[in-house]
Amino acid sequence: MKVAILTLLLIFMIASPCLCNDLGKVFNVISYGAVGNGKTDDTQAFSKAWEAVCNANGITSLIIPKGKIFLLNPVQFKGPCKATKVLVQVGGTIAASANLKTWTDNEKWIHFETVDGLVINGGGQIDGQGSVWWNACSDKALHFYNCNGLQLSNLRHLNSQKNHISISGCKGVKINNLLISAPEDSPNTDGIDISTSSNIEVLNTVMETGDDCIAINGGSSNITISGVACGPGHGISIGSLGKNGAFDTVEEVHVRNCTFKGTQNAARIKTWQGGKGYARKISYENIQIINSQNPIIIDQNYNPYSLNANAQSEVEISDVTFRNVYGTSVDEIAIDLVCSDHFGCSNIVLNNIDIKSAIPGKQTISRCNNAHGSTLSLCTPIVPCLSH
């Protein structure tokens, strides 16, 4: 009798799409028709599973099991949900289709929208199969819009079509322990892009990309970045801000305990010619530089496409501190403070900076234009435009 009851229970557990445990209701994508062989399109199965997860009450969990590869075309997971908390356990691999003809939305691959209390982890992998897309027009591979209280951790994210992760219109986000990787020559493969968002933490993450490891764009505030290893890539950037004359603001961004190895830039702030707004209350602290090209750079004349080439940037940069920054630069100019002739930069503080040349026998130098502030201790290279 006991054996019969146990057998029936096991059959129920395998067949049922919804299992209940301490974490609430558990939904496995396999139960909704996902195959996970890396060849079959599992998009519809994921959509059906999401509908069930989102419409269930209490805490719900979406299981993407280990040992399988789930092929997805562009898919949207939208709320608001009845569930008070949604857990997405990525155990296996989610892979993008390499067939460009199957895509109908070239802007977003996996899009979460208006899902509060979303938690994504599980130790699995998200593979954007980006090599076929790097000459196409896809963007924002894993995109979160208006998802407050988002937690994203313990995942590998590889070879995005363009931006690996985009955070937009979100509050209270914590990102921890990710590996983000794409070839150094892959175009626009930013690690994490943040825009119009606040109270964001990015912690203990390794990023190897073809563009910015992290880019913080307009409308963002109260950003903490700590324990990030960046390289290759273009550094951790504030901006670009003010493209096409836009009014952009960024404030209270604090980057600490990070390493940049072989990057094009390290600590960077960039504003467009013709732009408006401000970037203020920013700090880079306890930063190690290993053979980077532009260790410390402020560029108020950013204009890679020659737009409004004669305009001055009116994005005011102020209250920026670089503290305990040390290491080696492959370029002669290790500190580059190129501020606009019209507005300039104010209250730029350098404290305990020691950046030497990566080339034996060479010296590093600084460059300034309309930058104002102070150096609080010995600074290598010397920055004559700042008071001592």
Six-digit token string for 87: 């857990």
Read off the DSSP letter of residue 210. Answer: S
Helix (H, G, I), strand (E, B) or coil at 358: coil
Measured between alpha carbons, how far is 215 from 361 in angstroms, rounded to an integer? 34
Read off the DSSP letter of residue 227. Answer: S
Six-digit token string for 104: 């109908």
Measured between alpha carbons, how far is 278 from 276 in angstroms, rounded to an integer? 7
Q: How far apart are the first and last CA of the chain?
A: 86
Residues, the chain = 388
Q: Could you tell me where the DSSP H helices lie in the chain?
A: 2-15, 43-55
Give the DSSP letter string of 235-286.
Answer: -EEEEEE-GGG-EEEEEEEEEEEEEEES-SEEEEEEEETT-EEEEEEEEEEE
Opening angle at CA 337, ends 331 and 340, nearest 5: 135
CB count within 10 Å of CB 214 equals: 30
Measured between alpha carbons, how far is 268 from 270 in angstroms, rounded to an integer? 7
Catalytic residue numbers, as ranges: 234
Beta-carbon contacts of residue 183 (< 8 Å; ≥ 6 apart): 159, 189, 210
Q: Could you tell me where the DSSP H helices lie in 16-102?
A: 43-55
Measured between alpha carbons, how far is 165 from 190 in angstroms, rounded to an integer? 8
E strand residue ranges, 23-170: 24-28, 37-41, 58-64, 69-72, 75-78, 83-90, 93-96, 110-113, 118-121, 125-127, 142-145, 151-158, 165-168
Cross-strand pairs, 374: 349, 387
Helix (H, G, I), strand (E, B) or coil at 16: coil
